[in-house]
């Protein structure tokens, strides 16, 4: 399926969320379109027409569909997977790529179409922000861990306790696989959501998800940060910044730094020492 939604900046993440609920398994953003894939037996045109009706008040949506011949789509996706070098410090590669001994941190990610390969702007910005943190001996939560790439980097940066959570079974399994490939020993992986958090407190929380989930769980992130702890957050567009900032500040989080790539944002927040989150 090929979708064109306007306005794209806010509509794309909403469209992906809605398509995921009706069986679409993978997505690829192009400059003007969103490509989404679903097994042909699960395709239902009326569901797309209903979806278009739901979006019609706020968005313009057009789509086309095409039946593709059966093939190993993971294999096709892997063939287009290239290594990524970030700030000359972090090298992200697949197992079938050559190692790079000239960088300080090399992360091996088995590409299984889980989110988090450093190719997307949000993941690369999160990595850049993480490189500025002192994680020696710290406790870290990676919320919506995807491939586990950020949790893996956190261990490489010296974190001693790392909790990684994702509500997608494929992401959960992929994270476990990537932890083994990178010989990590400090990461505990769970399938679920913020409901799994009990009395844990973290010095750093990583949340690279989407606007709606971030807004819904903002106060929970704040409550599970130690005083003076840091929240690194991405997965939303520049147009969403005001509502994200307001939600964060209402939860006792102070914005400290932001970075932007292709209209995607990543923001660093600090839990105010004088303020108790709601």
The full set of domain ranges for the chain reads 2-70, 120-271
Helix boundaries (H) for 22-57: 45-55
C-alpha–C-alpha distance, residues 158 and 203, integer Å: 13
- The mean of the pLDDT values for the chain is 88
Q: Which residue has the tokens 């806010």?
A: 10
Cα→Cα distances 179→125, 164, 182, Å: 21, 11, 5
Quote the CATH superfamily of domain 120-271.
Vaccinia Virus protein VP39 (3.40.50.150)
Range of weakest confidence among 74-78, 147-151, 171-175: 74-78
- Summarize the confidence of residues 228-252 as an average pLDDT: 95
pTM > 0.95: yes or no: no
């Amino acid at each position: 399926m090929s979708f064109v939604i306007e306005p794209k900046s806010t509509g794309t993440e909403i469209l992906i969320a809605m398509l995921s609920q009706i069986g679409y398994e993978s997505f690829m953003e192009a400059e003007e379109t969103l490509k989404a894939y679903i097994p042909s037996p699960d395709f239902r045109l009326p569901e797309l027409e209903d979806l278009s009706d739901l979006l019609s008040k706020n968005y313009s949506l057009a789509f086309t569909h095409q039946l593709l011949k059966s093939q190993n789509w993971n294999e096709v996706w892997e063939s287009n997977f290239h290594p990524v070098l970030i700030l000359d410090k972090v090298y992200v590669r697949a197992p079938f790529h050559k190692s790079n001994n000239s960088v300080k941190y090399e992360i091996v990610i088995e590409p299984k179409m889980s989110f988090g390969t450093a190719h997307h702007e949000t993941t690369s910005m999160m990595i850049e922000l993480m490189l500025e943190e002192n994680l020696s001996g710290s406790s870290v939560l990676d919320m919506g861990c995807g491939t586990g790439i950020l949790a893996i980097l956190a261990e490489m940066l010296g974190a001693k306790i790392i909790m990684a959570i994702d509500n997608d079974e494929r992401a959960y399994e992929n994270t476990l696989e990537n932890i083994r490939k990178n010989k990590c020993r400090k990461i505990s992986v769970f399938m679920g959501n913020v409901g799994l958090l009990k009395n844990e407190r973290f010095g750093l929380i990583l949340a690279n998800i989407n606007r709606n989930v971030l807004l819904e769980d903002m106060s929970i992130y704040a409550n599970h940060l130690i005083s003076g702890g840091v929240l690194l957050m991405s997965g939303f567009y520049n147009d969403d910044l005001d509502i994200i900032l307001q939600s964060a500040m209402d939860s006792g989080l102070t914005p400290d730094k932001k970075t932007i790539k292709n209209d995607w944002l990543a923001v660093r927040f600090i839990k105010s020492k004088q303020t108790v989150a709601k």
